[in-house]
Amino acid sequence: MRAYDLIELAGRNLREAGLRNSLTTLGIGVGVASLVAMLSLGIGLQKLATRQLGRSGLFDTVVVTSRQDSRGPRFAQAAPVTAQIKPLDDVARHNFEQMANVAEVYPNFSAVGDVRLETDKTGNHFTVVGTLPQSARTSEAFDDVQGSFFSSGTAEEAIILGDFGRDLLNLPREPRGTDVKLTSDQASQLLGKYIVLRYHKREAGESAPLAGKTTKKGEADPDDVDSADGVKAEDAQSFNLVPKTLKLKIVGIVSSEPNRGLRQGRTPMFLPLALAESLDMVQAGELWSTLRPSENKTYIALIVRVAKSKAVSQVEDEIRKQGFSTFSILDASKGITRFFTFLDLFLGIFGSLALAVASLGIVNTLVMAILERRREIGIMKALGASDGDVKRIFFVEAGSMGILGGALGAGLGWAIGRAINFATNIYLQRQDIRPENFWVVPVWLVAAALGFSVFVSMFAGLYPASRAAKLDPVQALRHD
């Protein structure tokens, strides 16, 4: 029999017992909906967790420090540098860059400075300044960026966090730790505007006693010399601190910290990495390490970004072999992945139960249909339908109920998810928590649910179909 005849006959059979078949289809729909709802909850929660973690950049990051440093500042001078301990310098950095699966290597940079809007002469904001490599452009934090990323690695530009933007605009602070997205009105007051950053440049010392007061642009006021200066000044051997100012253009505002990684504290402002390196800013935590005699420039820590998170342990091992200390939270990520696999499995089994029950409905409906259509099946066979034809008709009927039920269920599951997202978000907003999508229905889930529903329905149709095919036409046509 040709396919369209098959579909037409199956279709008319389904219509003939409309109510019963609709109810069966609805049953399948509810089953699929429960499956979709359960799985999308699992997927949603997983996405939520990995988004937070992924945004943090924890899982593809290895932090490398020198073993020398791990002993702490006081020992650094007391114990002389041994041959085995390698400095974390540009040679090491270059080595890391050459490793397989390493995407990039950049210093963990963190400096402090005073920042104000160019137009706002009074409001100085003491802040931590971080850097972003050009690759951070793809960080999830930039999904909802207002403005853009740096135009180049050396551009005199800045990207700031939303809540720091509020600070700059002298608006009241949001509760700590919350991600703030500025209104487009607020953003337009900042984007493209210039801020003035005052920082301290590290200059090689020629035993100058106090360099703190020398200002190049005349912007700094006497308060600039903070306690760090004082400490440094006593050890005139190493370097001088020169206050500097720099005008930066605000190009982007993000609500959460990009490439958070293992960065500590909150970094509300970022400069392009290459620019920051060229500025030779004094970094927080650099003081003790620079007291040590060292000819080359060394890094406090290097961030090694790994191309795929699977390769993290391998890269970590290699770096350790080279004689450095490393840190990553690979194991945590493994545990989380395993947890969600189990959660999804559990939710999936739970959701499938309803579908299994619904598939019994199909068996029931079709077996009933055989009893009812006994004579019709006999007639069809007498007219030349083969066993296979009869089987296929029932199969297509079961499959159609599967497709319709699957589509219905996917739609229903999606709607349930939307409704629950909506409801929870209203609640979350009332609690002043950022709204999140707990329920995520990806396209593949819809397709898989449809496919699974058709498969289950066909499977359920297996028994009725073969029973119908085996029906003896002589018995079926015997007049009663």
Partner 1 sequence: MATNGTEFESVRTVSVVRHYKLGRSLIPAVDGVSLAAGRGEFIALLGASGSGKSTLLNLIAGLDRPDSGAIVVEGSDLATMTSEQLAQYRRHTVGMVFQSFNLVPTMTLYENVELPMRFAEVKRKERRARVTEALEKVGLSDRMKHRPSEMSGGEQQRAALARALANRPKLLLADEPTGNLDSKTGTEIMDLIRELNRTLEMTVIMVTHERSLAERYANRLVFLGDGKLVGESINELEKIGAGR
- Per CB under 8 A, residues contacting partner 1 are 1-2, 5, 9, 12, 16, 375-376, 378-389, 473-474, 477, 479
Asked if 333 contacts 12 with a C-beta cutoff of 8 angstroms, the reply is no
Angle at 103 between CA 100 and CA 105, to 5 degrees: 105
**Choice between 2 and 430, CB closer to partner 1:** 2
**Choice between 426 and 474, CB closer to partner 1:** 474
Asked if 334 contacts 134 with a C-beta cutoff of 8 angstroms, the reply is no
Asked if 105 contacts 315 with a C-beta cutoff of 8 angstroms, the reply is no
> What is d(CA 214, CA 244) in angstroms, rounded to the nearest whole number?
9
**Choice between 345 and 474, CB closer to partner 1:** 474
**Choice between 1 and 187, CB closer to partner 1:** 1
Residues in contact with 196: Cβ distance below 8 Å, sequence separation at least 6, in sequence order: 115, 116, 117, 118, 219, 245, 246, 247, 248
- CB of 377 vs partner 1, minimal distance in Å: 10
**Choice between 389 and 436, CB closer to partner 1:** 389
Sequence-separated contacts (24+) of 90-93 with Cβ below 8 Å: 90/296, 90/297, 92/64, 92/302, 92/322, 92/324, 93/299, 93/302
**Token pair of 68, please?**
């020398």
Residues in contact with 245: Cβ distance below 8 Å, sequence separation at least 6, in sequence order: 196, 197, 198, 199, 217, 219, 220
- CB of 407 vs partner 1, minimal distance in Å: 26
Residues in contact with 344: Cβ distance below 8 Å, sequence separation at least 6, in sequence order: 39, 42, 43, 46
Asked if 93 contacts 108 with a C-beta cutoff of 8 angstroms, the reply is no
- CB of 395 vs partner 1, minimal distance in Å: 16
> What is d(CA 304, CA 123) in angstroms, rounded to the nearest whole number?
37
> What is d(CA 199, CA 202) in angstroms, rounded to the nearest whole number?
10
- The β-bridge partners of 113 are 127
- CB of 381 vs partner 1, minimal distance in Å: 7
Asked if 198 contacts 114 with a C-beta cutoff of 8 angstroms, the reply is yes
**Choice between 13 and 298, CB closer to partner 1:** 13
**Choice between 64 and 393, CB closer to partner 1:** 393
- CB of 387 vs partner 1, minimal distance in Å: 6
SS3 content of the chain, % helix, strand, coil (to 5): 55, 15, 30
- CB of 474 vs partner 1, minimal distance in Å: 5
- CB of 8 vs partner 1, minimal distance in Å: 8
The alpha carbon of residue 336 and the mean position of all alpha carbons in its chain are separated, in whole angstroms, by 14
- CB of 385 vs partner 1, minimal distance in Å: 5
**Choice between 302 and 465, CB closer to partner 1:** 465
- CB of 427 vs partner 1, minimal distance in Å: 53
**Choice between 10 and 63, CB closer to partner 1:** 10
